[in-house]
Amino acid sequence: MSLETSDFLQADDINKVFQVVDAVALGSTSDEDIENYLGLNSGSRQGRYYRLAAEKLGLIINFANNASLTPTGQLFSNYSLNNRALLAQNLIASLPVFSTVISHFRTSGQINIEDLRAYFISIYPGEESTASRRFSTFMNYIRYLGLPVQ
């Protein structure tokens, strides 16, 4: 599988990604509206990052800066916190970057963080400096998944 830079999430706070679903369910449809709902202030840039992450997870769709919930997003919106967490873990694990990494380290009981960093940088299709920034966000998702990294 060929990964693209857009496969690497930039939204580093997973809970805010889930709040995007709530924002859209309540009528926030633009990046600016979503950013305001999240309590951020970056001229819509952070709103776009979080919207894109929710979109990659299949929770929302976006057309011409007008977000709406997907059927999965509608389910997620109505789920309890426990069910949200289970669905979110499955959605994250199925993303190309995470499924590639999980598959690569599948036989390991524990994953060494330096090996993980080196592998992540090797699969990132852009500059190493950007890959290093994306790795920090990636690790937030890995921790959310509960993968054994030491």
Q: Is the pLDDT of residue 98 over 90?
A: yes
pTM of the model: 0.92
Identify whether the C-beta of residue 50 lies closer than 8 Å to the C-beta of residue 57.
no
- Per-residue DSSP letter, 67: E
Identify whether the C-beta of residue 51 lies closer than 8 Å to the C-beta of residue 117.
no
Identify whether the C-beta of residue 89 lies closer than 8 Å to the C-beta of residue 145.
yes
Across the chain, mean pLDDT equals 93
What lies within 8 Å, CB to CB, of 36 at 6+ separation is: 28, 47
pLDDT in tens, 32-65: 999 999 999 999 999 999 999 999 999 999 999 8
Give domain limits for the chain.
Answer: 14-78, 95-145
- State whether CATH 3.30.230.10 applies to domain 14-78: no
pLDDT in tens, 99-117: 999 888 877 667 889 999 9
